[in-house]
Amino acid sequence: DTEVTQTPKHLVMGMTNKKSLKCEQHMGHRAMYWYKQKAKKPPELMFVYSYEKLSINESVPSRFSPECPNSSLLNLHLHALQPEDSALYLCASSHMDRGLSYGYTFGSGTRLTVV
Amino acid sequence: KQEVTQIPAALSVPEGENLVLNCSFTDSAIYNLQWFRQDPGKGLTSLLLIQSSQREQTSGRLNASLDKSSGRSTLYIAASQPGDSATYLCAARLPGYSSASKIIFGSGTRLSIRP
C-alpha cells in the first residue's frame, strides 16, 4: 500500500457544527502532516506529528484540533469554523530519518466548505 | 527567511514542445527537493525526488536537476502532451526545524498544453 487515504472527499458544514477529517496510511511512515490549501495558492503547513506526538503547530487557531491515535491514523477535528476556513485540506506522510532524505506522500484531500 | 520561488507562474505551449519549469531556493543546505503535480481540486502527486547528493533524477519524459550552489532546480518535460496540463509545485526540505523538518513550497507553475 503506497497511498494516503483521506475521508471524506467533500464536506459542507455550518459554523456551529463539529466534524472530523480522517487520514490513514499503511506505509510505516512515522511523520504525518496536515496542510491547508486555498485556491491557486501552495499548501500551507498546519500541524506535524512525529512518532504520534505533535511536533509542529504553525499557530493554527484552536478551532482546528489535530489528533494522532496511532501510527497509521491522523484526524483533524473541526469546531466553530468560519467561512474563510473553506479550503482543500491535505494530509501527507513521510518516513523519519536523521538524514531527512525521504519525500512526502500526499492524500487526495478533503474539500471543505463552511456555510 | 527561507523562500522557494517558481518562475513562470503560468505557461502555455503547443503540444509536442519540450519545456523547462524553474524552481529557486534561498538555502543551499537543502536536504532534498521534490516536484509535485496537482490537477484542479485534487491532491499532490509526487513526480520526482532529488536528494542533496544527487544532480538529477529521471522518470519517463520527466527530468529534474538540482544545483545546490546556485539554489536552483529545473523540471524538464519532453514532448509535452495535453494530459501534462496541471499545476507543478516544487518543495524544498530545508534545515532549521525539528527532527520532523518541514518542506517549503514554491507558488507553483500552471502549465497548459495546447492540442
Contact A46, A38 (CB under 8 A): no
Beta carbons of B105 and A42 less than 8 Å apart: yes
CB B103 within 8 A of CB B1: no
For chain B, the residues whose C-beta falls within 8 A of a C-beta of chain A are: 31-32, 34, 36, 41-46, 49, 51, 89, 91, 93, 97-103, 105-108, 110
Residue B29: pLDDT band (50, 70, 90) is: confident
Distance in angstroms (rounded) separating the CA atoms of residues A29 and A51 = 9
For residue A8, pLDDT beyond 70:
yes
What is the DSSP-derived secondary structure letter of residue B16?
T
Distance from chain centroid for Cα A68: 10
Using CA atoms, how far residue A73 sits from A35, B79, B107, in Å, is 15, 40, 29
The answer to whether B13 and B26 have CB atoms below 8 angstroms apart is: no
- The chain A residue lying nearest B10, using CA atoms, is A40
**Can you tell me the mean pLDDT for A83-90?**
97
In whole angstroms, give the CA distance from residue B7 to residue B88. 11
pLDDT category, B103, cuts 50, 70, 90?
confident
Contact B6, B26 (CB under 8 A): no
Q: If residue B89 lies in a helix (H) or strand (E), which one and from where to where?
A: strand B86-94
Residue A102 CA: distances (Å) to CA of A12, A79, B46, B50: 34, 33, 12, 10
Between chains, do B32 and A103 touch, taking CB under 8 Å as contact?
A: yes
Residue from the list B34, B102, B106 with its beta carbon closest to the beta carbon of A45: B102
**Chain A residue closest in CA terms to B51:** A101
Q: How far apart are CA B48 and CA B60, in angstroms?
A: 11
A68 near A32, Cβ under 8 Å? yes
pLDDT in tens, B43-84: 999 999 999 999 999 999 999 999 999 999 999 999 999 999
- Residue A68 to residue A29: CA distance in whole angstroms: 13
Separation CA B104–CA B23 (nearest Å): 12
Residue A55 to residue B91, Cβ atoms within 8 A: no
Rounded to whole angstroms, how far apart are CA atoms A111 and B85? 21
Residue with cell 473553506: A86
CB count within 10 Å of CB A18 equals: 12
Instruction: List, for residues A22-42, the tens digit of each pLDDT value.
Output: 999 999 999 999 999 999 999
- A interface with B, Cβ–Cβ < 8 A, is 6, 31, 40-43, 45, 48-50, 55-56, 88, 90, 92, 96, 98-101, 103-109, 111
For residue B94, give the chain A residue with the closest CA: A100
Nearest-neighbour CA in chain B from A76: distance (Å): 17
DSSP element (H, E) containing A84: none
**Is the per-residue pLDDT at A101 higher than 90?**
no
| pLDDT of A98 above 70 | no
